[in-house]
Amino acid sequence: MNIGIVSTRLTGLDGVSLEAEKWAIVLERLGHRVYYCAGELGGNGPPGFLVPEMYFAHPRIQQITKQAFGPEAADTPKLRATIRKLADAIKMRVGEFIRTFKIELLIVENALAIPMNIPLGVALRDFIAETGIPTIAHHHDFYWERERYQLCAVPDILDAAFPPDLPSICHVVINSLAQQDLRIWKRLEAELIPNVFDFSTPPPEKGGSNAEFWEAIGLDEGDIIFLQPTRVIPRKGIELAIELVHRLGDPRIKLVITHPAGDEGWGYLQWLQKEAHRKGVDLRYVANRIESVGIKVQRGSGKRPTLWDAYVHADFVTYPSLWEGFGNALLEAIYFRKPVLINRYPVYVADIAPKGFKFVEIDGRITDETVEEVRYLLDNPEKCRGVTDWNFRLGKEHFSLEVLEEKLKKLLLFLTAKLPSKTTISPSELKLSPK
């Protein structure tokens, strides 16, 4: 079967792009052919169809977002007309994608869950409604979970498209809290498929292609790397990592941030840099020196170190997020057998902690006990190794690609059985009604 994966972007180190890649790998293992369609694409993914207006950072989309959300948002005929015009244009490009690659099943990655691109959500809702194409809507987070979407000028559009209630859509969420919320907010049932990682492929070891990592990001021999492998946005709680390093009081510790800022502005990064300076913490923001590679390609171009190189050399991983849809960086840290500081965000408490993992846990603040736990792991490598080996075994048991493969097999069988035969259409039969 030809399967099309659609999103606002399908490249980089964000959770949606990484998880889409894992789905693509597993679907190809199952014998399907996978194609990408997004507003931003990388060079390591499946064959792609680029539609610039799908990207949430496209200037026209950013303007719509600015007008639709926040205290100055206003419902105007011009705003609605702009959304409609762009949605119609994107919808026609989606049709081109379907016809070009003879797509038989769509997988929409988060574009029908969170309104980072309102016209894209509307376009996909309309396209699916008009064609009846079988669709898996893979939701990573919903607009009602984010404060920045609470003040909205067009709530009826959000209600209709994020996500839509259509007979040819099978909804999938990544955590049990989202499953409950979707039932409460939209009266929709969803399958639960957690995020996963390729635990069967051995991780790279120190040396070889990653030997120059330290020099590339400006570290000296004897430095201790505390890795913060997340984007720089406020919900990541990076100030807690700064506080931890400050209270450990070891000048050898360098706090290294690998992922970019900018998705929600640059103010948070600037504040973190000032806070780190005030507390005497050596903070290294190295996103511009870390190459983005997918899980199938653990070595980059050789011109810059990769995220995997950072994990290999890390001594400790900080993950003090206030909120996560699931936690890709946590799975990565488990895979690389690194000790982890974790803030007990709601999804972690509901879906991950009950599995029995061993992390240094906090509840929104760094305590004396926290500092001592971290120091103990750093000073006792054998005890630390026992903890990380334990976590690796649990990660492989509950969150591996093999787990995803079994769940996708069942989902595709369910989707095939659930949909009437008349909704399975050939690309040549696709006809979009004019607006």
pLDDT tens for residues 124-141? Answer: 999 999 999 999 999 999
Per-residue confidence band for 45, with pLDDT thresholds at 50, 70 and 90:
confident
Domains of the chain, by residue range, sit at 2-196+400-423, 208-398
CATH, domain 208-398, list 3.40.50.2000, 3.30.410.10, 3.40.440.10, 3.40.50.300: 3.40.50.2000
Please choose, from the candidates 272, 60, 279, 61, the residue with its C-alpha nearest in 3D space to the C-alpha of residue 287: 272
* 433 dihedral zone (left: phi>0; alpha: psi -120 to 50; beta): beta
Helix (H, G, I), strand (E, B) or coil at 263: strand
The pLDDT value given to residue 292: 62
How long, in residues, is the chain?
435
pTM of the predicted model as reported, rounded to 2 decimal places: 0.87
Determine the average pLDDT of the residues in 98-121.
97
**pLDDT beyond 70 at 197:** yes
**pLDDT beyond 50 at 79:** yes
> Contact 123/307 with Cβ under 8 angstroms?
no
pLDDT tens for residues 275-290? Answer: 999 999 999 999 888 7
Per-residue confidence band for 293, with pLDDT thresholds at 50, 70 and 90:
low
CA distance 402 to 196: 9
Asked if domains 2-196+400-423 and 208-398 share a fold, the reply is: yes
**Crossing angle for the helix pair 238-248 and 267-278, to the nearest 10 degrees:** 10
CA distance 122 to 115: 10
CA distance 308 to 305: 8
The pLDDT value given to residue 431: 46
pLDDT tens for residues 225-257? Answer: 999 999 999 999 999 999 999 999 999 999 999
Q: What percent of the chain has pLDDT over 90?
A: 78
The pLDDT value given to residue 419: 53
- For 2-196+400-423, CATH gives 3.40.50.2000
